[in-house]
Amino acid sequence: MGALDGVKILDLSWGIAGPLGVLLLAEQGADVIKVEPPGGDPFRAYSGYAVWNRSRRSVTIDLKSAAGLDAFGRLVDDADVLVETFRPGVTDRLGIGYDALHARNPRLVYLSCPGYPEGHRLAPRPGYDALIQASSGQQWEQPGWRMGPIFLHMPMPSMGATFLIPSGILSALISREATGRGQHVRTSLFQGALLYTTQIWQHVENAPAAFHDLMGKSYPPGVHQQMLFECANGEWVHTSVMSGLTPTESQDHLLGLDDAPDPYEFMALPPDERQAFTDRRREGYKTHDRAELVANFQAHNHAIEAVITMEEALGATGAPHPQLLANGMIATVEDSELGTTTQIGVPINLQSTPGAIQGPQPLPGAHNREILGGLGYSDAEISTITGGSR
Amino acid sequence: MPALDGVLVVDFGQYLAGPFGPMIMGDLGAEVIKVEPVHGDGMRLAGKPFFGCQRGKRSIALDLKTPRGLALGEALVERADIVHHNMTAGVANKLGIGYADCKRLNPDVVYCNTWAYGLEGPLAHFGGLDPLYQASAGLEYEAGAAHTGNDPLYYRFGMCDAANAMLSVVGSLAALYHQRRTGEGQMLWTSLMDGGAVFASDALLVDGEVVPRPRLDQGLHGTAACYRLYATQDGWIQIAAVTEADWMALCAALNAPELADDARFAVATLRAEHREQLETLLVPRFLARTSISWTHALDDAGVPNEIPLDSLGGELVLNDADNVALGMVAEYEHPMMGTLRQFGELIQFSETPGVISRPPPLVGQHTREILEWLGCDAAEIDGLKNDGVVTWPGDEYPWAV
């Protein structure tokens, strides 16, 4: 059994944060119904859709029709949680706003995650991830190979909201155990972006400049960037000074730099000599094969990872990453549209109530008959409710 | 009353991936007791990242390696709903606060361990820092557009730590909800490695083959000609012309009917196929006007766009009137560092509002009051301090803030 067995979630969300946030709950046992408009979620073609939307059933409902709204209301009567990602105001216009549904089902936890919070001057503006990367200041925080804002390939605002959505839902469900009542829980992609500023955005009145410089933005990019090294064949590794283990041989010796100063001698060198040795070290890395270097460093208790693509981690070019595999994070999912797929697994590990993938992404309306028929609707009524889509 | 009112989280973690999750649970209303060594959390030396993960907590500084210190740790575990830490393999067991120890003391407890790599497996015995998992999940490869010949690029947000911590929040709360319904606690774990993988969860293999996903251009502007940054006469603009209607609107805003009629760019798939040709045509056009002129023109035409904000290291966002009014900025007074400001409420509740009022604690700032709460009398407490089992700040503060 899963920790969230019996929790019923209506998922009206689209994009990344809503579907992926809901996924984290679905794979701990929650029963999720994706409610799609006639014709299906317009974002089906996006990369990642098949992963983010797995482990749920799908029903298509035309919320703009009276019959659709009626059927949706009956799903709400039986639901614990609703998740929506429309712009503020849209659900009220559709007649499925918080007030209306709370009156109908006071136990309902109603989670909203628009681009910007309701009441913010930016709330009427479009909420695509890259726009919030820009407006929230994140693009300017990231140094790159040129001055100016850097587009973040990782959709950072969405990936923040991804975690805030299930955190808010679970908090409200825990609170409901005591109060018996649901409530309106609100977050946004904008707040998702703020989540990742925790290490860098601190206003500290009495802080010296060094406090800001230590982990601050810099050109060229700072501390951790300097630990990326190019190996043979144009491949790269990232090393770290901390492995939690006691190294049995220094990194420099493993690189073949036998005359290397020890770390204390190195720190005491004049800057130009330090730079000269750092350059030699960079050249040293280039003489080593990446796979051999990683194996050798790890065998001597040094923290190191190959800089690979996620597809390589999943096993596209050989063996998958051995620890990702050990963590159960390489999953095979039979997808009715795509065929045999390899995707990430379940990233939260509850030992007594283990989570599990509940099934592939559903085709739009794949469960119309099962869900709507279960409510007692006839085939003709189902056709009206679903806008004739299936 | 906040959502997690009455929930006690005992936080034995140090650095980031341990402490950040309990901080977020504190924002949601949990009471969080930070148990740190008598010389302080090792992350205190780093300044900003430490402050970012510690607000709302009370600190008790004690030496778990002494029998009396361990007994105090055990007394806290007995009262905890959630025990949370990020120690590496075997460390908690050796200290006497492994899951078996905690379950013996408190059979219903939820016990969460955030790992670097994972519970078991070839690298499970390693600790590790965020950059390793940005590497293993392909984040650095994609961030730097390494496929174009660029160097890989580290994201300076340290977000694998945050992902690990947030997975631990979701997992701990799911386990707590289960415990509230069944009376059964349990152990759970998350990892930096898996947190990184979530960030790249759009990666997909079909029959073992790569399904291409959008990639950055060499200049790190964006992932499509109509979903990217463009330099303007005086700065930058981010556009997101995603739908076909947006594309037509963009052509109108650019005053470029010839683009709207160009068969190479007729639909999104063709614009992706001819991305470089389209970008070559758009770059000089955007350079011809200022950013503010463009945002008005694009707004008028209905093209989603924003001017990237240079927030001066977050200052402009943390002082923005709307952000402050909506509770998204938290401000508190620190006994040594003056006024602190950080992001505020990231989740808002209509019935159970959160409260963020306490700055990051000094080493052992609340040792005394927590010991009193555990039932120690004044003589006992002074004895513990004299024997080096616990500590708190006196007239002098010898530790990192």
Residue A22 near residue A33, CB atoms below 8 Å: no
Could you say which DSSP state residue A37 is in? -
Global model pTM greater than 0.90: yes
Residue with tokens 């999720």: A32
Q: Who contacts B209 (Cβ-Cβ below 8 Å, separation ≥6)? A: A316
> Which residues are within 8 A (CB) of B91 and not within 5 positions of it... i.e. 6 or more apart?
none
Query: How many percent of chain B have pLDDT more than 90?
Result: 96
For A26, the closest chain B residue by CA position comes to B174
Q: What is the nearest CA distance from B381 to chain A, expressed in angstroms? A: 32
pLDDT tens, B222-273?
A: 999 999 999 999 999 999 999 999 999 999 999 999 999 999 999 999 999 9
Q: Is the peptide bond before A155 cis (omega within 30 degrees of 0)?
A: no
Instruction: Give B384→chain A minimum CA distance, Å.
Output: 30
CB A18 within 8 A of CB A11: yes
Residue A341 has pLDDT above 90, yes or no: yes
**What is the CA angle B106-B107-B113, rounded to 5?**
75
Residue type, A320: P
For the CA atoms of A139, A143, A149, A155, the dihedral, rounded to the nearest 10 degrees, stands at: -30
3-class SS at A277?
Answer: helix
Cα–Cα distance, B97 to B225 (Å, whole number): 54
Which strands sit side by side in the sheet containing A236-239, from one edge to the other?
A: A228-230, A236-239, A304-306
Tokens 């119904």 -> residue: A33
pLDDT tens for A361-376 read: 999 999 999 999 999 9
Tell me: pLDDT of B191 over 90: yes
The phi-psi region of residue B365 (left if phi > 0; otherwise alpha if psi is between -120 and 50; otherwise beta) is: alpha
* Interface with chain B: mutation pick from A191, A198, A204, highest number of B CBs within 10 Å: A198
Decide if A341 and B205 are in contact by the 8 Å CB cutoff: yes
B330 contact A CB<8A: no
Which tens digit of pLDDT belongs to each residue from A222-243? Answer: 889 999 999 999 999 999 888 8
Contacts of B269 (CB under 8 A, 6+ apart): none
Contact A3 B155 (CB under 8 A): no
Name the residue among B143, B150, B304 with its Cβ closest to that of A128: B304
**How many degrees, rounded to 5, is the angle at CA A87 between CA A83 and CA A89?**
95
Please name the residue ranges forming H helices in B13-129.
20-27, 48-51, 67-79, 91-95, 99-105
- CB A170, CB A157: distance < 8 Å: no
B217, B233, B319, B326: best to mutate for the A interface, most A CBs within 10 A: B326
- Kindly determine whether residue B198 and residue A347, on different chains, have CB atoms separated by under 8 Å: yes
Say whether residue A383 is in contact with chain B using an 8 A CB cutoff. Answer: no
Please state the rounded mean pLDDT for residues A96-119: 98
How far is B82 from B170, CA to CA, in rounded Å?
A: 12
Q: Give the B window 77-96 contacts with A, CB below 8 Å.
A: 88
> What's the mean per-residue pLDDT of chain B?
97
| Gyration radius from chain B CA atoms | 26
Contacts of A386 (CB under 8 A, 6+ apart): A38, A59, A60, A61, A62, A68, A365, A368, A372
Confidence of residue B318 (pLDDT cuts 50, 70, 90): very high
Q: Which helix (H) or strand (E) holds A330?
A: strand A330-335
A256 min Cα distance to partner chain B (Å): 23
CB pairs under 8 A between A and B: 527
Whether residues B167 and A163 touch (CB distance < 8 A) is answered with yes
Q: Select the residue of B162, B197, B236 nearest A329 (Cβ to Cβ).
A: B197
